């Protein structure tokens, strides 16, 4: 029997345009690798990202901006991006995820952008931190954010066809995770501790190429929404609950009318499937290679995701200064 379901003609994949944005931010900020100037590296990425974004034929509103936690240069919440024409989209940005990683020459800083149709992206208001549990597609239905760590690891291992002591768990190396780390070790799983970069951790947890099986712990709320843009496309699950780290943050969330008890999933964080995501490596590492300058240009490595089709691409790009500088508003050289 023939499949009579109506087929759609191939549509433009916005992720390719978003890659131009993350490439620009990565090329500009990578000049500051290891120089100890966190804000300078972030500002270079912000300026390049804004310039490139505003050349795109879309009408974007920043829902997830950056800079509010650490007084860094910002693509601020509510800022309008794009030409003002074309599709109306919600935008999540992190020009440099891992500003400290970049400043001190450590691996796994990346530049990240995600979009979804206007009104479909979760707005966390004044929340800066959320507790997260991220697993690949095979384990998405067996986890519970309120279950004991050992139980979740047991169920994840079974779903992945592994023993618990085969699992590798991504955890941010923060004092708040002291008990979590003890519980993971007691359960028998292995741990990768990272100073920063919980978008990277979430992406690694759902990436079949990665050695990471699960991400656990409290990290940034904006980073959780950005990661959900990618998880929408590649499959997997993020379970999250807002986890304020100060009295001031908690009161601000409650005053905004946000329920601290709500369990958020990938479908709460990003509604629908017309979602696009791009990330470009800055400082390199185990996830995406960093920017490599060649003298007359540079090489970048990016990840592109379109949720509707489930397409995931890894792209290596070669940039030529002689040609690029003839028309680019961003000074990469």
The phi, psi pair for 276, rounded to 5°, reads: -130, 150
Do 252 and 196 fall within a single domain?
yes
Is 285 annotated in a binding site? The answer is no
Orientation of helix 221-234 relative to helix 198-206, angle to 10° = 20
Do 42 and 113 fall within a single domain?
yes
Is 176 annotated in a binding site? The answer is yes
Are 143 and 240 in contact, with CB atoms under 8 Å apart? no
238 lies in some domain: yes
Is 98 annotated in a binding site? The answer is yes
Q: 10 Å Cβ neighbour count for 158? A: 14
Rounded to whole angstroms, how far apart are CA atoms 311 and 314?
10
Rounded to whole angstroms, how far apart are CA atoms 104 and 100?
6
Do 112 and 137 fall within a single domain?
no
Which residue in 217, 225, 227 sits closest to 170, CA to CA? 217
Query: pLDDT tens per residue, the chain (333 residues)?
Result: 455 555 554 467 899 999 999 999 999 999 999 999 999 999 999 999 999 998 899 999 999 986 454 444 578 888 899 988 888 999 999 999 999 999 999 999 999 999 999 999 999 999 999 999 999 999 999 999 999 999 999 999 999 999 999 999 999 999 999 999 999 999 999 999 999 989 999 999 999 889 999 999 999 999 999 999 999 999 999 999 999 999 999 999 999 999 999 999 999 999 989 999 999 999 988 889 999 999 899 999 999 999 999 999 999 999 988 777 656 666 666
Domain containing 223 equals 129-269
Give the pTM.
Answer: 0.90
CATH of the domain at 103: 3.30.540.10
Domain count, the chain: 2
88 lies in some domain: yes
Do 202 and 83 fall within a single domain?
no
Rounded to whole angstroms, how far apart are CA atoms 31 and 324?
17
Is 38 annotated in a binding site? The answer is no
Is 281 annotated in a binding site? The answer is no
Q: CA 5 → CA 9, 20, 56, 248, distances in Å?
A: 13, 35, 33, 53
Strands 129-135 and 168-172, bridge-based pairing: unpaired
9 lies in some domain: no
173 lies in some domain: yes
Is 42 annotated in a binding site? The answer is yes
Is 221 annotated in a binding site? The answer is no
Do 141 and 194 fall within a single domain?
yes
Is 223 annotated in a binding site? The answer is yes
Is 259 annotated in a binding site? The answer is no
Q: Which two tokens stand for residue 237?
A: 């699950």
The pLDDT score that the predictor gives to residue 333 is: 61
Is 174 annotated in a binding site? The answer is yes
Rounded to whole angstroms, how far apart are CA atoms 15 and 298?
21
56 lies in some domain: yes
């Amino acid at each position: 029997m023939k499949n009579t379901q109506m087929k759609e003609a191939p549509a433009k994949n916005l992720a390719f345009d978003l890659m131009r944005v993350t490439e620009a931010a990565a090329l500009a900020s990578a000049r500051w690798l290891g120089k100890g100037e966190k804000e300078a590296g972030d500002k270079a990425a912000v300026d390049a990202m804004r310039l490139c974004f505003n050349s795109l034929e879309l009408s974007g509103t920043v829902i997830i901006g950056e800079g509010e936690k650490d007084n860094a240069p910002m693509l601020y919440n509510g800022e309008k991006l794009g030409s003002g024409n074309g599709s109306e989209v919600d935008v999540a940005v992190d020009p440099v995820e891992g500003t400290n990683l970049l400043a001190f020459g450590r691996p796994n800083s990346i530049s990240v952008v995600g979009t979804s149709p206007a009104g479909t992206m979760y707005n966390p208001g004044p929340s800066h931190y959320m507790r997260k549990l991220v697993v690949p597609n095979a384990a998405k239905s067996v986890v519970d954010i309120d279950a004991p760590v050992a139980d979740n690891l047991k169920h994840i291992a079974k779903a992945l066809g592994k023993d618990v002591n085969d699992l590798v768990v991504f955890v941010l190396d923060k004092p708040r995770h002291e008990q979590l780390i003890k519980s993971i070790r007691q359960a028998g799983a292995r741990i990768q501790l990272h100073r920063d970069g919980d978008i990277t951790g979430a992406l690694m947890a759902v990436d079949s190429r990665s050695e990471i099986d699960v991400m656990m712990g409290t990290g940034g709320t904006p980073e959780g929404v950005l990661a959900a843009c990618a998880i929408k496309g590649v499959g997997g699950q993020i379970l999250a609950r807002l986890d304020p780290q100060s009295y001031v943050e908690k009161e601000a969330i409650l005053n905004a009318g946000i329920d601290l008890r709500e369990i958020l999933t990938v479908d709460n964080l990003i509604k629908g499937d017309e979602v696009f995501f791009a990330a470009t490596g800055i400082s390199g590492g185990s996830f995406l290679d960093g920017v490599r300058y060649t003298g007359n240009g540079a090489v970048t490595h990016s990840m592109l995701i379109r949720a509707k089709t489930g397409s995931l691409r890894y792209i290596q790009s070669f940039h030529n200064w002689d040609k690029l500088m003839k028309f680019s508003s961003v000074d990469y050289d």
